[in-house]
Amino acid sequence: MINSLKKPLLWTVALAPFFLNQPVSAHVIWFEQINNNQHEILFGHPELNQPEPLDIDKFQSATAYDENKNVIPSTTSFENGRLFLNTNSPASALTAFYDNGF
């Protein structure tokens, strides 16, 4: 009797983590290109394409870089509840810091 229960019990224990875990989906910030010199900074879940309102008080900074890893002068602007990163030349990489309190 015990031997007949071992196989189903082993399968249950082996497969339980796959059925009991919940996907972790953290909020992130990401950039969407408007044109060569302007990008919108978005907050939320990019994998679900669900931006959420960005709290401008939690936004810390954004930086643009060229292909040689040099910082490109840039400015941010907040217009109609949307945050933009503006540069004078096209950027190869962008970084941003948003302090969400965690």
Task: List average pLDDT for each run of 10 residues in the chain, which is 102 residues long.
Answer: 64 65 64 92 82 87 94 94 93 90 69
Amino acid at the residue 53: P
pLDDT for res 2: 55
Amino acid at the residue 93: A
CA–CA distance, 19 with 49 (Å, rounded to integer): 25
pLDDT for res 26: 61
pLDDT for res 18: 62
45: which residues sit within 8 A by CB, 6+ positions away? 25, 27, 28, 52
pLDDT for res 73: 96
CA–CA distance, 30 with 96 (Å, rounded to integer): 8
pLDDT for res 21: 55
Task: Give the SS3 label for residue 48.
Answer: helix
pLDDT for res 54: 82
Q: Is residue 63 within a helix (H) or strand (E), and if so which, with residue range?
A: strand 59-65
